[in-house]
Amino acid sequence: MIRRKRKYRKYHEKNKNYIIIFGIVICIILGIAFLTMGLEYEEKSEYIYSYEAKKSDNYETLLKPNEFYTSSSLPKGLYYASKSIDKFVLEYMYDFNGSKEADINYNYNIIANMVATVANNDYKGKEVWNREFIILDNTSSNTKEKEFSINEKVDIDYEYYNNLARSYEEVYGISINAVLKVYFNISYDINLQGVAENNKTINDYIELDIPITSTITNIEEKYQNITNEEIMPQISEKISATKVVYYILAVIFIISALVLFIIMKKFIKKSPKEMYKSNMKHILNYYKDIIVTISNEPNFSNLKLMELNSIDDLIDVAEQNNSNIIHYEVIENEKSELYVIINEYLYMYIITGEKLK
């Protein structure tokens, strides 16, 4: 009956250990999972508006009276003798198309920049002159539709700008390469109805570069033909409620794992065999200088038995009488007896896994 009870108790304690270890592992896994989910969680935002702006240009070259050309103008895309040019007629086209109706305020202008760089010597390529000319004043408009279109034509008096550049060279004695950069600039605010904090400001342009001081002129287009973008709702900079929930759950499970670990370490008893091994290992290591272990059962029938209550009492007896302690394991991994013989007295201390006798 005693062995059966002991066996049941060992089995019960072992099962409790397994259950707690399993609980710790589950808590750690869940804690790490929720922490990872919190760190990786991103607000799912849908595009609420998209737009596309198509840009293009056209121009016509008007010629001075001459005996070489049969026509008074030349079309886009050719190379022109600079001295033959009277003016350019530039045309800018801008077509905007949105995914849905919006309140759009837009304004545009056309500005030319004369940019001159040094043509020779050690300063070749360095900019020495930059002057702005307003070709078309700022124009504003508004629409509540999905789309709008702009078409503007302006004249560029080539001879005027060429003479101005040549005059600069004569006055300052600097040979320059001058380019007239003619910009169609547009900006617009897209106000999405019913969507707070999602207004969008767009800045766009079309650039045409006209060489001024070169003998051959060819207009260079410098812009992307299409501008498009998709607008999403702005995400709050504050941590979302979902993230907070993930972090709280992660903390709860990690703390639970620590609590279970402490419970297992402090409140779950070791099995009798584990207790016995732990006690014996400590005693044999700590008092190894005065303990002698024997393998045969000793016979002390002729001595008077004095059973002691603690290992400290036995150590005191041995040290006071300058005597060794005899160790004999009565039941392997379950019970040991320690003896000190002083004259006709046998001092004994018993160690088991259940308790220290």
pLDDT in tens, 227-272: 888 876 654 444 567 778 888 888 998 898 888 887 777 656 667 7
- What is the rounded distance in angstroms from the CA atom of residue 249 to the CA atom of residue 251? 5
198 or 11, higher pLDDT: 198
pTM here is 0.56
The pLDDT value recorded for residue 36 is 84
Helix, strand or coil for residue 278? helix
pLDDT in tens, 138-183: 999 999 999 999 999 999 999 999 999 999 999 999 999 999 999 9
Please write the tens of the pLDDT for every residue from 271-291. Answer: 778 888 888 888 888 888 889
What would the pLDDT profile of 15-32 be if each residue is shown by its tens digit? Answer: 566 777 887 888 888 888
For the ranges 45-59, 87-101, 254-268, the lowest mean pLDDT is seen at 254-268
Which pLDDT value is given to residue 239?
A: 52
Q: Give percent of the chain with pLDDT exceeding 70.
A: 87
Instruction: Give the confidence band of 40 by pLDDT, cuts at 50, 70, 90.
Output: confident
pLDDT at 67 exceeding the cut of 70: yes
Largest CA distance in the chain: 150
Contact 209, 179 (CB under 8 A): yes
Q: What is the pLDDT of residue 1?
A: 32
Q: Which two tokens stand for residue 174?
A: 């600097």
Q: What is the pLDDT of residue 287?
A: 86
Q: How far apart are CA 331 and CA 83, in angstroms?
A: 120
Residue type, 219: I
pLDDT of residue 43: 59
| Residue (of 228, 181, 184) closest to 202 by Cα position | 228
Kindly report, residue by residue over 293-345, the tens digit of the pLDDT: 998 989 888 999 999 988 888 989 999 999 999 999 999 888 999 999 999 99
